[in-house]
A and B are shown apart, each in its own frame.
Chain A
Amino acid sequence: MRRIAGSILWLLTFGSAWAQETPKKDDTKKDDAKKPVYVALVGGDVTTVTKGTLRGATVLIKDSKIHRIGHGIPLPDGTVQHDVRGRRVLPGFVACSAYGLGVSGWGGGKLSDMLDPYSETVQLALASGITTAYLELGFGGGFFGGRTMSLGQGSAVVKMAYGRLDEMTVLEPAAVDLSAWTQGGASQRHGVREKFGKAREYLQKLDDFEKRKSQNRLKPNEQAPSTGGVEQEVKLLKGEALARVSASTADEIRVVLQLLSDFPMKCVLVGVDEGWTLPEEIGRSNAYCILTPRNRVYRDRGVNRPNGSSIEQAAILRKAGVKFGIVPTSPMIDLDGIAGRDLLNLPLEAAFAVRGGLDEQTAIESITITAAELIGVSNRIGSIEEGKDADLIVLDGDPFDYRTFVDLTFVNGRLLYDKEKSPYFSHLKRK
């Protein structure tokens, strides 16, 4: 009996392997269903953002990821090829603060439950080269998409994956809102401090518990310490979450930096109009900023120090080593006719930072990789690198040239926007 069982076992393992070496006709049919889809963008100037620009190169996409980048890449049979010679290939733009893109009218609760993958705003975002956005619930939506009411704290990183709801939500919630710190008074701040203090205590206790556990020195029936209602703060201190807070004036910025010096964590300052007056302090804190170069805050001449906004802010902060993303004055799709101030022209806002002295490399990073980093998704989004998501755009010129349009937009390897086939801009031909 045992001998028979043994031979059966042998047959099962090696026999099946033997069977695999000669695939039956049925198996190839199964393989077809899982065959990878290859798409190649051939001959363009590829701005990887992180590793320079490759001229006249090819980007090969496999399913939803960037597979290979380079010159003379062999293309597998059946690769769908796009001739992009003379044009530029960039990672899809990242709007690190946005409203009303792909969010349906009046809903409630989580942002991911309110997404509308068929919204015109998603199409317009793709037409503007935006493939990923950090969305919040708040008054927004501009001309389209309805004004979404803020019915709860909601933020999410969302891809503009038209028609594919399941591919839209990338990260939710996307940031912890710390506005209680800046908008509240002393008692609010005391409350915030207390929470972070508790969180720190918890982490110390946990560390101690783990140490003693590994040394078998736990007391009888001792349980791990509980977070006791400060889970968010614990995540922040551990570096597992991102905080976000609005701060415009130098005072407001300093107040946030104070919190960060007591409790170091990954934090994004939004607005930062007077950041240029204290660049080294911001630089030392490692806080990220979200800037709007054209936001004008008038200088109060009665105050005895530099104040107000400055077009040179981005350049100044860059020198101090501050990392920032850039968003326009209207961080939504605005179709009421005023041109160039909303997400339809995201790169132009970064071009204004260049006007103010910022180098173009940092400017492009501020709407791609750095923007992705400060919303927490740079491991897969924001640059053209092997293994990253195939979110790519093809431009008909320099991204900072006011005449440049997006020709093609890919999200997760799929072509979701083609300027010639879409009604919005197909009538505008670049000379």
Chain B
Amino acid sequence: MLALLAAALLQEAPKTPDEVTAITQVRAIPISGSDIESATIVIKNGKIAEIGKDAKVPEGATIIPGKGLVAMPGFVNAYTAFSWSRSMGGGSTPQNLAFDEFNPALDIFDVLPRTGFTTYGIAPGGGVIAGQGLAMKLNGLPKEQMVVSRSAFLRIHVRADSSVKDMLRREFEAAKKHLDAEKKYEDEKKKYEEEKKKREEEEKKKKESGKTDEKKDEKTQPLQEPKPPQKPDARMQILVNALKGELPVVLQAESPAAVAHFWQILETLEGVAPRITYLCASEAWKAADRFGEKKATVMLLPRLEFVPFTHDRLNTAAELHRAGAKIVFATAGGYDAHEDFLSGVAEMVKYGLPREAALKAFTLHAAEVLGIEKSSGSLEAGKDGDVVLLSGDPLSATSRVTRVLIQGRPVYEEGKP
């Protein structure tokens, strides 16, 4: 009786319904694979459940007709400066969080989704090792839920200057010491574990065979468990994580000369593998060979430069791409810069950057800068339902953004207030 009642209760307990949206017959540019001419994109509870030509539309799904439209992953602007702090120091403050300065109630956030940009990296203001930037999505939720990562990257601003270089050297060398100590401990611990296991097995064998070799027992030195190294303070840990490659780094430099000086410091540290995105404001093409050699990620404005003192156009992005570097486009500008962004990207393609690299530059590659590529940057099952619908090809001057979904929630629809 009780069991039946329980079963009935269980059956009747109200279940929170799945939020399902399906975009049908849309031309999809998933970024992670080839374009799909007529695709169905199913978003369930904020994540992409399925995308494909033959994906089935689940029952009860909200249907967004996509015929005649183009779907792309929500655009990612990996480096913005909304609400920069007033603190402009020259120092090393890796513990500072852009999160603490971030004001989610800015007017601009209400209108930004219209531009197709769903995801933003926000850098902290400040000095040389400025602090940690955040990654956020304009999903309309409270601050804590907007912020996808409070520690998305470490911003470093480098200059060709002794005091800046000396500071970076000092900080990195200190972090490296911790890293080395950590690694040494890992190696020693591993050896200890192996040795311990070996001895335990020997002991076991001896007990089984009943023999005791007293002579041997006397000779064997007692095993010493290695002492873990002193943990670095919170500040230093951030730098250690950056050097390990666990915390992405965005290196801001006014010119390739500053980058060259940074490389000079980095080259003295062996065995580190930081994940660096180079934000080189101008003339990055001058160091194209070195960026290419390192297969570096370079972040730029989608804007042509000029060959010095001439009217000849120079497509820095195309030059870097040709040399083997990875391109990311970003803008620290306001609303207009985001509105005009796609026309800038189109110009990049017009003057020689391959289309695929151009489209990745503000989707998947940008997500990688912020370390959020597992959830963002392409239309793939398992990733966030960040979808931008356009009236035509993203690189066409006549296309408009018609709808935007962020984590499955509609945040913009053309024509609706």
Contact = CB atoms under 8 A, between A and B. Distances in A.
Q: Do chains A and B directly touch (beta carbons under 8 Å) in the complex?
A: yes
A163 B287 contact: yes
Contact of A163 (B163, B166, B263, B286): B286
A115 B308 contact: no
Given A118-B286, A163-B287, A163-B289, A113 B256 contact: no
A113 B289 contact: no
Nearest to B160: A104
Contacts of A129: none
B161 A118 contact: no
A108 B164 CA distance: 9
B256 A114 contact: no
Nearest to B312: A423
Chain B contact surface mostly = helix
Contact of B257 (A109, A110, A119, A166): A119
Interface string B161-177: 11101100000000000
B159 A166 contact: no
B283 interface: yes
Contacts of B283: 118
Interface in B270-288: 283, 286-287
Interface string B261-304: 10110010000000000000001001101100000000000000
A165 B256 CA distance: 10
A107 B255 contact: no
Interface string A109-133: 1100111111110000000000000
A108 B264 contact: no
A166 B263 CA distance: 10
A107 B160 contact: yes
A172 B236 CA distance: 32
A29 to B, nearest CB: 19
Nearest to B267: A166
Contacts of B286: 118, 163
A114 B308 contact: no
Size range of the chain A interface in the assembly: 10 to 19
B260 interface: yes
Nearest to A164: B260
**Interface hub of B267, B283, B308 (most chain A Cβ within 10 A):** B308
Interface in A105-163: 107-110, 113-120, 163
A107 B158 CA distance: 12
Contacts of A118: 255-257, 260, 283, 286-287
A166 B260 CA distance: 9
B165 A113 contact: yes
Contacts of B256: 118
A167 to B, nearest CB: 11
A163 B255 CA distance: 12
Contacts of A423: 310
Contacts of A119: 257
Interface of B: 159-163, 165-166, 255-257, 260-261, 263-264, 267, 283, 286-287, 289-290, 308, 310
Given A109-B162, A116-B255, 12 more contacts: A104-B160, A104-B255, A107-B161, A108-B161, A109-B161, A109-B165, A113-B165, A114-B161, A118-B260, A120-B308, A163-B289, A166-B267
Top 4 nearest A-B pairs (CB, nearest first) are A109-B162, A116-B257, A165-B260, A118-B286
19 contacts: A104-B257, A107-B160, A107-B161, A109-B161, A110-B162, A113-B160, A113-B161, A113-B165, A113-B261, A117-B257, A118-B255, A118-B283, A119-B257, A120-B308, A163-B287, A165-B261, A165-B263, A165-B264, A166-B267
